[in-house]
Amino acid sequence: MIKYVSPLYDFAFAQIFGNQRNIGNTRAFLKTLLDIPEDDYGQLTVENSILRRFFRQEKMGIVDLRLSTKSGRIIHIELQVDKKAYLKNRILYYAARLIGDQLRWGDNYGKLHQVISIVICNHVLLDEEQDYINQYELRNDKNRSFTNLLKVVILELPKLPEAADSSLWPWLRFFKCESKEEYEMLAEQYPELEKPIFCVRRMSLLEKWREIRFHKNLWKEDERMRELYLKTEAREEALVEGRTEGLAEGRAEGLAEGRAEGLAEGLAEKIEIARRMKNKGLSLAEIIDITGLTAETVEGL
C-alpha cells in the first residue's frame, strides 16, 4: 500500500504551494485567509526565498515561501512542524528583512510595500490564545493602526476544531491528513482541494523512487569525500615524515578522523541546504554555486 506524503514535509509543501505551476493552490488558500483586493492575486509570483546579505557577517536567511502580488505586496509563508526556540523572534526578523530588502540606493521610503508573514505551526505557539487563527499588526493602546506595512498571521494546527467553522478550515485540515481515506473524504466535501490532494497523490507515487535516487547520490558523494580524506591524509603524512613512527601515526590518524568528522557533518548540512533550495525552486546553477555540491548530487535530491 502506498503511504501518502504529508503536506507538512517541506519538499511536499514547496511542490504544492511554492511551485509556480501550482500557484492556483496558493491563491485559493490565501483567499480564505487574507483580506486583500481580488485584483492583487492576478500576478501572484513565487520569488527567490534567499534573503539578501549586504555584508559577509550578516546572518543568511532562507524562508519557506516568498510571494509577490500585482501591487508589490510581499507574502511570506513559513511552515514550522517542530517547536523551536525563539520562533517569534525569527518570524519578526524575517519580516523585517523582507521589508528592508525592498529598497535600493536612492529609493524613498514611500516605495515600501506591505509584508504579510503567515506561519503554519504544527504545535502550539501561543499558549495564551484559544483561537487557531491569530493576526497581529502595529497598533497603539487605543487600537489605532500605526502602519499596515507589517502583518503577522499565526495558524496553529493543534487548535483546529473537529468541525468546519470557516472557509480556511478545510485547508488546515488538509495539512493534518494522514491517510488516503482522509484525503478522499476531504476532496469529496471540498472540491477546491482536489488539485492539492492530486499533488499529494502524485508525489506519494514518486516518493519511493526519489528516496532511492537520493541515497544513491548520497553514497556517490560519500565516496568522493572519502577520496578527498585519503588524499589529505597522504599529504599530512608527508609533512610529519622524519618524526617517530608512533608520533606520525598518531597525528595522522587524529587529524584524519577529525577532518573526516568535520567534512561528513559539513556534507550532510550542504545536502540539507541544497534540498531546501531545490524545493524552493532555485536553479541548479545557483544551488551548485552556493553549496559546492556536484550537479549529479543536486539533481538526485
Write out pLDDT tens, residues 259-275.
555 555 566 667 777 77
* Mean pLDDT calculated for residue range 42-52: 88
d(CA 276, CA 254): 33
Kind and range of the H or E run holding 151:
strand 145-156
Pair 102, 202 in one domain = yes
Element (H, E) at 99: helix 87-100
- Assess if residue 2 is contained within a domain: no
The answer to whether 98 and 115 are in contact (CB under 8 A) is yes
Task: Answer whether residue 124 is part of any domain.
Answer: yes
Number of separate domains in the chain? 2
Residue 195 parent element (H or E): helix 194-239
CA-CA distance, 187 to 196, in Å (whole number)? 9
Are 182 and 245 within one domain?
no
pLDDT of residue 277: 74
DSSP run (H or E) holding 209: helix 194-239
Residues 38 and 170 in one domain: yes
Instruction: Say whether both 178 and 259 belong to one domain.
Output: no
User: Is 85 contained in some domain?
Assistant: yes
* Same domain? 72 vs 194: yes
3-state SS assignment for residue 150:
strand
Query: Do 165 and 285 share a domain, yes or no?
Result: no
Can you name the residues that pair with 79 across neighbouring β-strands?
A: 120
Entry pTM: 0.69
What pLDDT sits at residue 298?
76
pLDDT of residue 229 exceeding 50: yes
**Domain ends where: 152, 187, 206?**
206
Tell me which residue range forms the domain holding 221.
Answer: 207-299
**Structural domain includes residue 1:** no
